[in-house]
Structure formats: structure tokens, C-alpha cells
Structure 1
Amino acid sequence: MIYIISLIAIVLLVGIDQAIKFWAAESLIGKGSVEFLKIGDTEILNLSYHENIGAAFSSFSGMRIFLIIFTSIFIIAGLYLIITKKIKKPALLWSVTLIIAGGIGNLIDRVFRSFVIDYFEVKLFRFAVFNFADCCIVIGAVLMVILFIFFDKSDKKETKNDAKA
């Protein structure tokens, strides 16, 4: 059942991502930077429309076909792991779910628009403009790293104990 929920979550997250991008394209083009989150006189987060022809932090700019193929391979691999129920740990399943959803959201943009719509602009400090799909990918990746660094020790202990026997 958790695997079906994971697939439904992917569809919902991609839907949210695409809805926000549609809104951004309709509402933010030509408006510059619009205040979104402000504390006192300090701007924290603004909304602004940007077309990103690369990947994270505009890396791989102009390499659309490569990014489409690379992203597609990872999405297919992740979906395979979910559909065949290869992922046994729920937290790992959710990290893969987030990464796949974000990947699909940005892949849709690359295929149909030739660029990815970004709209979150951090004003508190200089940072890249990003989108909801990027947030899903980063949160999923950070969760995966945390799982492997801090919570994967039981598997290593079992392997060491098996080796001693």
C-alpha cells in the first residue's frame, strides 16, 4: 500500500509543481521581483519569473538533450525501484519519491518549454532562483544522505557480525 501512496504522491507533487509554474508564467512575467516573505524591512523571499536552460544553479546550460536523457534515466530507475518494491525502508522510499517528483516536474518543462520555470528568489542572501520541483529534489536528496550517514549503521553492524560468524 505504501508503494501506491508513493506513486500517488509523485502525481500530486508534479501537479502542484506544474500548477505553480503555470501561475508563475501567467502572473510574474514582466513584474520583476514581487515581495513574498518579509520580516520588518528585511526581504527574505521574493517571487520572480526566470527561464533556466540549465540544471541546478544553471549548471549544464544549453545541454537540454543531455539533461532530458540523464533525468529520464534516473526517473525510470527510481520508478522501477518503487514499482518492484525494492525499497524496503519507508524513509528511503519517501526520499526517492520526492526526487522523482521533482525530476518529473522539471523534465516536463525541459521537454515542452525547452527551459525550466524558476520563481523563488532568496533575498536574505545571494542565492539561485529555484522552484517547487527543485525543493522536492533537494529535500529528497538531503533526506537520503542523512539516512545513509546516520541511520544505515544497523545494516553495517549486521554485515560485520555476519563476517565474524
Structure 2
Amino acid sequence: MEIVIILLGIILDRITKLWAIKTLLSGKDIVIIKNFFQFSYLENTGAAFGIFRDKLMFLTVITLIVVFAIIVYLFKFKPSSKILRISLAFIISGAIGNLIDRIQYKYVVDFILLHYKDVYYFPTFNVADILVSVGTILLAFFIIKEDGYGK
């Protein structure tokens, strides 16, 4: 199950990024909901929210270590929790999706832009970022549930 999730996540991320490059690289944004949601091309040389800007080698090495550690954990401990396995598969697929960009382009292709008029702009992101975020939220939910905090 994890391998299927990882492969589908990577494929979805690649397809959407290739679409963004082909469609949005020219600078023409696509407005989905005026003053709220649009597709807008951005080359991100950092990580989430622009941290570690221009630290390509650092981000690549950290990503490889994290992905390797999660894969070793999955194979070594074979967790029985479906939510744990799914959360880790989402994190791996998103991490690999952005890693592919860093290796291929030396930056990550971001294109999903949420904002409120010209007042607030959430940092531009992509499908890989969504996968990592959802995986992290599921992982937090699992940890809280397992530790008894949710009881």
C-alpha cells in the first residue's frame, strides 16, 4: 500500500509541476477564485516559507537522510497502524517530489497561490508540499492518539 501511495504522489506532483512549467512559466497566472486562489509560477530555491534559501546541498542531503530513515523504519518495524503507514508514505512522496526538482532544476517549482485580495499572501506551494503537510498532520494525529492525549 505504501509503495502505491508514494508512486501516485510522485506522479501527481510531477504531472502538476510539468503542467505549471508549460502553462505558467510565461508569467500568465490563472485565476481560479478572484482575490483568493490562483496558479502562479514560482521558482523556490529554499524550503517551506522560504527558509534555507539557496542551500541546495543542505536541503538535498537532509531530504535524502529523512527519506532513507523513514523507509528503514517502515521495513524494519513494519508498523501495523494504517494511519502511520499512510502518513509516512505521504511524507516520503512529497519529499521525493521536491527532491526531484532540486536535483533536476536546482529549485522547486511552486504554483499554488492562496491569498486574501492584496492584504495577505500565503507562501506559494505545490502538490509535494500538500503531501508532506497532510502526512505530517496525520502523523501528529497518530502520535496524539497513541500517547493517549486524544482520550
Residue 86 of structure 2 corresponds to: 94
Counterpart CA distance in 2 for 1:122 and 1:68 is 27
The number of equivalent residue pairs is 147
Structure exhibiting the larger radius of gyration computed from Cα positions? 1
SS in 2 for 1:87: coil
From 95, 103, 106, give the equivalent of 2:98.
106
Q: Which amino acid aligns with 2:49?
A: F
Question: Which stretch shows the higher mean deviation, 135-144 or 24-33?
Answer: 24-33
Counterpart CA distance in 1 for 2:50 and 2:31 is 23
Deviation for aligned residue 1:85: 4.7
The TM-score with structure 2 as length reference comes to 0.90
SS in 1 for 2:54: coil
The TM-score with structure 1 as length reference comes to 0.83
SS in 1 for 2:122: coil
Counterpart CA distance in 1 for 2:56 and 2:43 is 13
From 47, 61, 84, give the equivalent of 2:53.
61
Runs of 4+ in 1 over 4 A off after TM superposition: none
SS in 2 for 1:51: strand
Residue 157 of structure 1 corresponds to: none
The answer on whether the counterparts of 2:5 and 2:86 sit within 8 Å (CA) in structure 1 is: no
- RMSD of the alignment, in Å? 1.8
Residue 43 of structure 2 corresponds to: 51
Counterpart CA distance in 2 for 1:17 and 1:152 is 31
- Structure 2's unaligned 5+ residue stretches are none
2:19 aligned with 1:23? yes
Counterpart CA distance in 1 for 2:6 and 2:74 is 11
2:131 aligned with 1:153? no
Residue 76 of structure 2 corresponds to: 84
Counterpart CA distance in 1 for 2:79 and 2:106 is 33
Residue 163 of structure 1 corresponds to: none
From 108, 125, 137, give the equivalent of 1:130.
125
Counterpart CA distance in 2 for 1:109 and 1:142 is 24
From 111, 114, 117, give the equivalent of 2:109.
117
Identity score, percent = 30
Deviation for aligned residue 1:78: 1.2
Q: Which amino acid aligns with 1:25?
A: I
Counterpart CA distance in 1 for 2:92 and 2:123 is 21
